[in-house]
Amino acid sequence: MKKITLLVSALLVPALLGTVALAASPTYSVIVNGQVAPDQAIVIGGKTYVPLTALKLLGVSSSLKGSTLTLGAQNAAAIAPGGANQRASLEGCVGETLFNGVWRMTVRKVEAIGPDVGLGPGWGVTVELRNGTTTKTNLHDTGLENIDLSLPNGNTLTFEERTAEEGFIYKELAQASGVTYQLRFHVQDTRAPASSVPRPAKLTIQLNPARLTAGYLIAGKVAYTTPTPSFRVRLDCQK
């Protein structure tokens, strides 16, 4: 289980497994990514503890069974049933379904594409995206920040964001529904030959949980099951 730390009144504190009430103990307000948590942190025995409500703002789910409190998903099957190649990990290969508590994402195909208006040749990455929540939503409103395609040398290609906005980024998806879309990336040099653009190494879809909870229309209705929900897909391996 990944250890999570929070910045509270200039103190770096361990994440608490529950809210503790002790009248004589000092308390602190908790701010998570600029947002004030509904409950306060408390100091007991010289240690500062943070309530579960603060972890929830980071997208960390919790469940209590008997004397055991579990943070995050217990296993992949609990949050992403129905797929032998599906797992809760955020990094995988082509053909592998990744799930972050909100989205199930699978890279289906990687293929070379020709020049477009004002851009040179590049690569198309066909992605299947499915809504794993009970709320109708879109990728943009769940904290999308960047979509990058990295080459083996670390350089990135130019993403055709304008063409992808309606069909992928802002497309409203109901519960369990999905979309399959080719993300297109190019070099800027229109004179560059296709042979000069090597096969890409990694696709990254960067998602920021703080943007999901900081005033979006769906704030409070969906939550990531991991504090690092971004997808990273290695394009040099196949599942």
**pLDDT tens column, 136-177:** 999 999 999 999 999 999 899 999 999 999 999 999 999 999
Same domain, 139 and 207: yes
Same domain, 129 and 229: yes
Same domain, 233 and 196: yes
Same domain, 66 and 84: no
Same domain, 80 and 67: no
Same domain, 26 and 88: no
Same domain, 158 and 230: yes
d(Cα 187, Cα 236) in Å, to the nearest integer? 20
Domain count across the chain:
2
pLDDT band at 45 (very low <50, low <70, confident <90, very high): confident
**pLDDT tens column, 181-203:** 999 999 999 999 999 999 999 99
> What is the DSSP-derived secondary structure letter of residue 198?
P
Domain region containing 140 = 76-238
Query: What percent of the chain clears pLDDT 90, i.e. is strictly above it?
Result: 51
CATH at 207: 2.60.40.1240
Is residue 12 pLDDT above 50, yes or no?
no
Same domain, 129 and 44: no
> What is the DSSP-derived secondary structure letter of residue 116?
B
Q: What is the mean pLDDT of residues 223-235?
A: 92
How many residues belong to the chain?
A: 239
Cα dihedral angle (160, 161, 162, 166), rounded to 10 degrees? 120
Same domain, 84 and 183: yes
pTM of the full structure: 0.63
Same domain, 107 and 201: yes
